[in-house]
Amino acid sequence: MTELELKYGCNPNQKPSRIFMENGADLPIEVLNGRPGYINFMDAFNGWQLVKELKAATGYPAATSFKHVSPAGAAIGLPLTETLAKIYWVDDLGELSPLACAYARARGADRMSSYGDFIALSDVCDASTARIIQREVSDGVIAPGYDDDALEILKSKRKGTYNIIKIDPNYVPAPIERKQVFGITFEQGRNELVINDELFADRPTKNKNIPESAKHDLAIALITLKYTQSNSVAYACGGQAIGIGAGQQSRIHCTRLAGQKADNWYLRQSPKVMGLQFVDDIRRADRDNTIDLYIGEDYMDVLAEGEWQKFFKVKPEVFTREEKRAWLDTMKGVSLGSDAFFPFGDNIERAHKSGVEFIAQPGGSIRDDNVIETCDKYNIAMAFTKIRLFHH
| pLDDT score of 137 more than 80 | yes
Q: How high is the pLDDT of residue 24? A: 82
Q: What is the mean pLDDT of residues 175-201?
A: 94
List for the chain the helix, strand, coil content (%; round to 5): 40, 20, 40
Q: How high is the pLDDT of residue 252? A: 95
Q: How high is the pLDDT of residue 301? A: 86
Lowest-confidence pick of 6-20, 160-174, 196-210, 301-315: 301-315
- What is the 8-class DSSP label of residue 313? S
Confidence band (pLDDT; 50, 70, 90) for 135? Answer: very high
Q: How high is the pLDDT of residue 1? A: 74
Sign of CA dihedral 227, 228, 231, 235: negative
Q: What is the pLDDT of residues 48-88, one digit of tens each?
A: 999 999 999 999 999 999 999 999 999 999 999 999 999 99
Q: What is the mean pLDDT of residues 88-103?
A: 96
| Strand partners for 63 | 75, 121
Q: What is the mean pLDDT of residues 109-138?
A: 97
Q: What is the pLDDT of residues 289-343, one digit of tens each?
A: 999 999 998 888 888 888 899 999 999 999 999 999 999 999 999 999 999 999 9
- In this structure, what are the phi and psi dihedrals at residue 232, rounded to the nearest 5 degrees? -155, 150
Q: How high is the pLDDT of residue 194? A: 94
Q: How high is the pLDDT of residue 219? A: 96
Q: How high is the pLDDT of residue 302? A: 87
Q: How high is the pLDDT of residue 306? A: 82
**Residues assigned a catalytic role:** 67-68, 231, 392
Q: Which of 312, 57, 6, 346 is nearest to 198 (CA)?
A: 57
Q: Which of 115, 116, 111, 145 is nearest to 129 (CA)?
A: 145
Confidence band (pLDDT; 50, 70, 90) for 23? Answer: confident
Lowest-confidence pick of 22-31, 56-65, 212-221: 22-31
Which amino acid is located at 355 in the chain? G
Q: What is the pLDDT of residues 149-164, one digit of tens each?
A: 999 999 999 999 999 9
Which amino acid is located at 307 in the chain? E
**Mean pLDDT for all residues in the chain:** 96
Q: Which of 235, 245, 255 is nearest to 331 (CA)?
A: 235
Helix, strand, or coil (residue 15): coil
